Structure 1
């Protein structure tokens, strides 16, 4: 599996307000943030090898956040992944600590908790 030092955080959510809010937080922390409205956009972007962390909504049309994560893993990349969801389930929680899934946050995401999580897994940019 590929593991490389990189500095891009990919934020994937079909809700533009959520993407913008998370991007504002991450930019204020000094991270290079790329926003995507769908999992398909991420897969077409050819940026996976440059992504230090993936923050993705779980429920999205076409390619869910879980499916996106699984496809990235099948491509051979280990990308620390944070799922965000308005609908937490035991099935989703079963993914925690599996193939790089490091956290699951319920919407609305607490900015301080997300910032602390990013600091813990990535340190400072």
Structure 2
């Protein structure tokens, strides 16, 4: 399953529709906290997350998951690209770091890379 974590509903919806059209199971979350409390957390194959969100950022979510022993492939998206955020995300193992608005084909390539690394297939 692909988990999309973004506080912007329009981005969540568009990303959901794109990923779903590829045949993947998808869940969306408006915040990192909502994702962390989801009953689907352990079903996640890849996380597509916004970098900047209220309360817990996407980068903090990635760090929290790693610290708790959960390593999911991450694809980050952001409207405010800062090199230090990009470097932090990639150092922690993120697959891609995309600036909004991002090209759907680029996101698909990132997703393919993430899921190949994780050994997942559509429907997972």
TM (norm. structure 2) is 0.89
Matches within 5 A, 1:1-125: 8-123=1-116, 124-125=121-122
How many residue pairs get matched?
118
State the alpha-carbon separation in 2 of the partners of residues 106 and 81 from structure 1. 14
Pairwise CA RMSD = 1.3
TM (norm. structure 1) is 0.88
| Stretches of 4+ aligned residues off by more than 4 angstroms | none
Structure having the higher helix fraction is 2
Unaligned 5+ runs, structure 2: none
CA drift at 1:29: 0.3
